[in-house]
Amino acid sequence: MAAAVIAAAVLTLLLPDDLRLGPRWALPLVEGLLLVALIAGDPGRISRRSAALRAMSIALVGVLACSAIWSTIRLTDDLVHGGNETNSADALLQAGGSVWASTVLAFSLLYFELDSGGPAARAHHVPPTPALAFPQHLSPELNATHWRPRYIDYLYLGFTNATAFSPTDVMPLAPWAKIAMALQSVVSLLILGLVVARAVNVLT
């Protein structure tokens, strides 16, 4: 999870100024401070149940999600109305790839934080009906009674949902999960469809 937050901060730094929410240093600084506070409050495994840590985790995910959606909106506007990076295929693909990767990381962290009450709650128990049903939950023959999803499982969910534009092996059960996955699919479709179309147009 910490590596994903750091990667998202680096991607923010690589974005053109007009695609970034706020000054270049602002979001990485906020994300870094929240991450340091989370690690200090619960070093090692994320298993300590605390209202303050939960609030900081949700705040961190909220910052990442808002940043990714803002960048998507700005990129879409530049593609429709013309922007500095839309006249060069290389610049466009780099900006589009950074925005797309940021959305994958942001939504994977969103799933990680909200599913079954968050990582600390999952470390203590798994509810009978989780918000996101992984194959281990759906297949009794896997004997996964004590199985717990880790961040890599949510990262895979975020990546496949962003490329297939629909659920693959993980099924959303809770309303918020269905809304989040639908929103991510729309965002990813906008980015990939418009960026590829514009890049092809520039190259030809």
Question: Per residue in 140-157, pLDDT tens?
Answer: 666 566 778 888 999 999
Per-residue pLDDT tens digits for 82-132: 766 666 777 778 888 888 998 999 999 999 988 887 777 777 776 667 788
* Domain locations in the chain as residue ranges: 2-203
Q: What are phi and psi of 129, to 5 degrees?
A: -125, 95
Does the pLDDT value for residue 47 go beyond 60?
Answer: no
Give the 3-state secondary structure of residue 153: helix
Q: Name the pTM for this structure.
A: 0.84
Does the pLDDT value for residue 181 go beyond 80?
Answer: yes
Going by C-alpha positions, the residue among 47, 60, 176 that lies closest to residue 121 is: 47
Can you read off the two tokens belonging to residue 177? Answer: 């999960």
Are 122 and 148 within 8 A, CB to CB? yes
Spatial distance between the Cα atoms of 183 and 103, rounded to a whole number of angstroms: 11
